[in-house]
Each structure stands twice: as structure tokens, then as C-alpha cells.
């Protein structure tokens, strides 16, 4: 199971999708084991379509950043 530091959560209103590298992203054709940092820049949240800039880590450095993001 991935550590919270390796999981990233979408910060858009009414979304909250968590990218888990252990699962990847089937919709975006991202294989299991792909770190968030290694996702291509054009990758979008599979739920709301937000960009990578709208995500922050669940724990560790950057987890207490305030991110305001509109899709």
C-alpha cells in the first residue's frame, strides 16, 4: 500500500479524487506503480478534469499548502 506522502488529492470543489500510485489511472491509461511526479503534464483528474496543479500530497512536504483551483 502506498504511503500517504505518495498519494495526491484533487483540491477542486466537490471532487477530492485521490491519485494512488498503487492503482494508477485506468481512465487515463496510467499503469500501476506510476508516481504522481512522473505523470505527464497534460494528465487530468479522471473525475473533474482538473490539471496536476490542482493536486497536493496527502502528507509530507506540501500537504499543508493552500490550493484554490477552478476547473
pTM of the model: 0.90
Number of domains in the chain: 1
Domain containing 5 equals 1-71
Q: What pLDDT sits at residue 63?
A: 83
CATH at residue 42:
2.20.28.10
Question: Which cell is 37 given?
Answer: 511526479
Q: What pLDDT sits at residue 41?
A: 93
| More confident site: 63 or 14 | 14
Provide the 3-class DSSP secondary structure of residue 25: strand
- The yes-or-no verdict on residue 48 having pLDDT over 90 is yes
Spatial neighbors of 1 by CB under 8 A, at least 6 apart, are 22
Amino acid at each position: 500500500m502506498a504511503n500517504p506522502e505518495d498519494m495526491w488529492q484533487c483540491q477542486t470543489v466537490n471532487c477530492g479524487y485521490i491519485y494512488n500510485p498503487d492503482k494508477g489511472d485506468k481512465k487515463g491509461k496510467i499503469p500501476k506503480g506510476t508516481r504522481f511526479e512522473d505523470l505527464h503534464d497534460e494528465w487530468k483528474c479522471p473525475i473533474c478534469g482538473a490539471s496536476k496543479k490542482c493536486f497536493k500530497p496527502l502528507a509530507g512536504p506540501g500537504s499543508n499548502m493552500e490550493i484554490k483551483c477552478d476547473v
